Structure 1
Amino acid sequence: MSTAPVLDKPAAAPAARRKVSLPVLLLIVSGLLCLVSAVRLITDADGLTSVSQMSTALQLAVPIGLAGLGGLWAERAGVVNIGLEGMLILGTWFGAWAGYQWGPWVGVIAALVGGALGGLVHALATVTFNVNHIVSGVAINILALGATRYLSVLMYDGMDGATSRQSPAVPSLGEFTVPGLADALADLNKQGYFLISDIAGLLGGVMTGVSWLTLIAVALIPLSWWILWRTAFGLRLRSCGENPVAAESLGVNVIKYKYLAVIISGALAGLGGAFLSMVSSNYYLEGQTGGRGYIGLAAMIFGNWMPGGLALGASLFGYSDTLKVRGGTENTHALLLLIAILALLAVAWLIWKKKYVGGAVTLAVSVLLFFWYASTDSVPSQVATAMPYVLTLLVLALSAQRLRMPKADGQPYRKGQGK
């Protein structure tokens, strides 16, 4: 009889989370478009996928996406940036002020610098002095609001066409419409065909009245992905957010990369502010950010700290924001049916996954939404106004279990702490 010690079996490694492949993602998007088209035909809410609706959604999604992209750069280097709202505010003020003085493109540069200054303050507090990242971000939001209020009184009070809370009109950056194709897509959208007209509305929206700053913002999404995931600079920056001690042991200047990431983060948020004060409107107005910095942070989390997911999240929030701008009550009432159907599909998914409690709760929500839709012809305008914020909470709650943030995100770091 053997006397060799009995060895315990090694614990099974946790199963790796499966990534959604491109064909599966395209299939999901196609199915969602078909469902939206069906709801549009049932409810006669043609505004759901009209060219004007999609164009407005793109315009509203850009500042959210730029703020979220700024958060992505900072958090990939391990710095939580709650101060995105304040950096947006700085971008709106500096963009409008410099744009009025010296022209719109100078205003864009000034907005980048203003947001970058906010990022520099955040980096100084969190990276150099190890201030809690949340505390520093909240302080920057308060500081930016107070500073721009003071500067507005100092610069604009008594100026023609301005008040202590609003700048004079800023020259336009200009916009373009794809000739011929945009009109053809708009005509096809008006026909009301199943799916075809909805796709025409989606494509027409990104070809009609597009600002040059919108093109820059859209190009920054793949550019950020390429820099962060396909260059040595990006690899070093991301290593600072995953394991800064190991990165330092390999010769990476962690402090430098954290500073660069947070300053770039602020500049991107500042660019989003310039969009608000120079494209969405042609003036700075106190409070015009409307919490978009926080929504951008939610879009980044929804996108699992990836540029592509961030773009989808920003588009979702931007579309929900259009409900209070264009036909809010009618379209919101139609969306009740869409959300109820999606909840019903979620019930089937949860039951298949044997999550019966979650399935029962989701079924109850679906039934309530169906009842709300069937028993009313419209919804209060306040529902459309609150939809972006409600959607933010729902998306974060539903996506929380699949998220994977950088491992060292928000953790304090001092040079040489691994020695």
Structure 2
Amino acid sequence: MTVAKPQAKKPGKGSRRMSLPVLLLVIAGVLVLTSVVRLITGADGITSTGQMSTALRLAVPIGLAGLGGLWAERAGVVNIGLEGMMILGTWFGAWAGYQWGPWTGVAFGIIGGMLGGVLHAIATVTFNVNHIVSGVAINILALGTTRYLSKFTFENEPGGSSKQSPGIDSLGTFDIPGLSSGLNTLNEKHWFLVSDIAGLIGGLVTDLSPLTVVAVALVPATWWVLWRTAFGLRLRSCGENPVAAESLGVNVYKYKYLAVIISGGFAGLGGAFLSIVASNVYLDGQTAGRGYIGLAAMIFGNWMPGGLALGAGLFGYTDSLNLRGGTTNVHALILLLAILLVFGAAYLLWKKRYTPAVVTAVVSALMFLWYTSTNEVPKQVVSATPYIVTLLVLSLSAQSLRMPKADGMPYRRGQGK
């Protein structure tokens, strides 16, 4: 009798992950190209310490929303409601921060986001409501609720209105002594590569809020909890195969509830950051779609904390162009993008993917033409840059992603019996 040999399992789409050395090599290559573009265009602001510091401050709420999405989706629950949970965080954070101080506001912002998480968990886990429908409903509900609450909480306060809270005390900022000033001096030399690296690192140690440090620390903390603890293993098993997890004694409902509530807490913290740290005031419409961009950063990062942090940094950087010499810097970045697309086309040719390579080369040529035929870009383009980058990143990375297998799928206790 002939026994068939087991065939090797072919890697599925998105199963290959970029190794750390390759990732570091790619980052180094992008830094070199950025430095070259800076020297060619004279746009020193694209790697200035101030630009990087602003980018970090804008990346934090996006990253926190992305971490919220990561926790929920690793347990198998799609959380489109991140935007609404951030909105709740901005309002609750501002309300409590105005009454009892900024740190109390941070705590209430987390609680506000967790309330949204509880609603989403009840709808999706207990009642099996479609995850997208539930998330959209929470976004609408949060927007209406905060507008209603603002009318009788902030409207009659000094400096407040139905769309704005009074001013909130600041948490304060700090620099790392010696290191911050030294890196800033190096950055102002405008040397090739050295000044760019100094600007990048200097932005991470200059004008820091204590809440920024907490937010950055939550990225490795999330990785450790989800990938290095028994709790994290059980939670992730609920997003991969809840039937198998239940057969091993895991209370799937409990872990899904915990994940979605924690998810809401992260989003609420991101909202509190916006109203307490970023602006020291609550404003109607303050989140400006950052919950959705955080979800995009999570997808870009392939449902991993490290990739998510890179995605949040990218979106935060493009958002910061609105605040610091946007038209000049975006014009310089058009040249950088055109060069990167040339490398992308060459890589696709090497992979023998001829049609995508031709399309990429054509887009690169158009970008070169745009750069050479203009001196600056319209302000409307600068304002739309974060959203354009979101669409581009998702479309270009869609082929190499792997979401949790049971993400968004309905589940009933005992369905595997």
Q: TM over 0.5, yes or no?
A: yes
Pairwise mapping of residues 94-173 of structure 1 onto structure 2 (< 5 A)? Answer: 94-173=92-171
Identify the match of residue 13 of structure 1 among 9, 14, 33. 9
Q: Tell me by how many angstroms 1:207 deviates.
A: 1.1
- SS of 2:37's equivalent? helix
2:227 and 2:177 mapped to 1: Cα distance? 36
AA of the residue aligned to 2:142: A
- Tell me what 1:312 maps to: 310
- Tell me what 2:321 maps to: 323
- Tell me what 1:282 maps to: 280
Identify the match of residue 259 of structure 2 among 261, 282, 286. 261
1:116 and 1:9 mapped to 2: Cα distance? 52
Structure 1 residue ranges without an equivalent (≥5): none
Structure 2 residue ranges without an equivalent (≥5): none
Q: Tell me by how many angstroms 1:204 deviates.
A: 0.9
Q: Tell me by how many angstroms 1:7 deviates.
A: 7.7
Q: Tell me by how many angstroms 1:12 deviates.
A: 5.2
- Tell me what 1:385 maps to: 383
Q: Tell me by how many angstroms 1:220 deviates.
A: 0.3
Identify the match of residue 363 of structure 1 among 343, 361, 366. 361
Pairwise mapping of residues 167-182 of structure 1 onto structure 2 (< 5 A)? Answer: 167-182=165-180
Pairwise mapping of residues 222-237 of structure 1 onto structure 2 (< 5 A)? Answer: 222-237=220-235
Q: Tell me by how many angstroms 1:19 deviates.
A: 3.0
AA of the residue aligned to 1:13: K
- SS of 2:363's equivalent? helix
2:262 and 2:323 mapped to 1: Cα distance? 32
- Tell me what 1:211 maps to: 209
1:91 and 1:119 mapped to 2: Cα distance? 11
- Tell me what 1:64 maps to: 62
- Tell me what 1:396 maps to: 394
Q: Which string of whole-angstrom CA distances, capped at 9 and with x for unpartnered residues, describes residues 136-159 of structure 1?
A: 000000000000000000111122
- Tell me what 1:27 maps to: 25
Q: Tell me by how many angstroms 1:180 deviates.
A: 1.9
2:403 and 2:203 mapped to 1: Cα distance? 33
1:285 and 1:31 mapped to 2: Cα distance? 40
- Tell me what 2:345 maps to: 347
Pairwise mapping of residues 285-300 of structure 1 onto structure 2 (< 5 A)? Answer: 285-300=283-298
2:409 and 2:172 mapped to 1: Cα distance? 43
Establish whether residue 246 from structure 1 lines up as the match of residue 244 from structure 2. Answer: yes
Q: Tell me by how many angstroms 1:231 deviates.
A: 0.3
Q: Which string of whole-angstrom CA distances, capped at 9 and with x for unpartnered residues, describes residues 37-81 of structure 1?
A: 000000000000000000000000000000000000000000000
- SS of 1:163's equivalent? coil
- SS of 1:176's equivalent? coil
Q: Which string of whole-angstrom CA distances, capped at 9 and with x for unpartnered residues, describes residues 176-212 of structure 1?
A: 1112221111111010000000011011111111000
Q: Tell me by how many angstroms 1:101 deviates.
A: 0.1
2:84 and 2:17 mapped to 1: Cα distance? 35
- SS of 1:233's equivalent? helix
Q: Tell me by how many angstroms 1:359 deviates.
A: 0.6
1:355 and 1:154 mapped to 2: Cα distance? 60
2:65 and 2:8 mapped to 1: Cα distance? 40
1:416 and 1:251 mapped to 2: Cα distance? 11
AA of the residue aligned to 1:168: P
- SS of 1:222's equivalent? helix
1:74 and 1:154 mapped to 2: Cα distance? 33
What TM-score do you get using the length of structure 2 for normalisation?
A: 0.98
Q: Tell me by how many angstroms 1:174 deviates.
A: 1.3
What TM-score do you get using the length of structure 1 for normalisation?
A: 0.97
Identify the match of residue 47 of structure 1 among 45, 48, 57. 45
- SS of 2:296's equivalent? helix
Q: Which string of whole-angstrom CA distances, capped at 9 and with x for unpartnered residues, describes residues 306-350 of structure 1?
A: 000000000000000011111000000000000000001000000
Q: Tell me by how many angstroms 1:9 deviates.
A: 7.1
1:118 and 1:128 mapped to 2: Cα distance? 15
- SS of 2:234's equivalent? helix
- Tell me what 1:81 maps to: 79
How many residue pairs get aligned? The number is: 415
Q: Tell me by how many angstroms 1:22 deviates.
A: 1.8
Identify the match of residue 271 of structure 1 among 261, 269, 272. 269
Q: Tell me by how many angstroms 1:10 deviates.
A: 5.8
Q: Which string of whole-angstrom CA distances, capped at 9 and with x for unpartnered residues, describes residues 108-140 of structure 1?
A: 000010000000000000000000000000000
Q: Which string of whole-angstrom CA distances, capped at 9 and with x for unpartnered residues, describes residues 82-114 of structure 1?
A: 000000000000000000000110000000100
Q: Identify if the C-alpha distance between structure 1 residues 15 and 267 changes in structure 2 by more than 3 Å, giving closer, same or farther.
A: closer
1:230 and 1:344 mapped to 2: Cα distance? 40
Establish whether residue 418 from structure 1 lines up as the match of residue 408 from structure 2. Answer: no
- SS of 2:410's equivalent? coil
AA of the residue aligned to 1:34: V
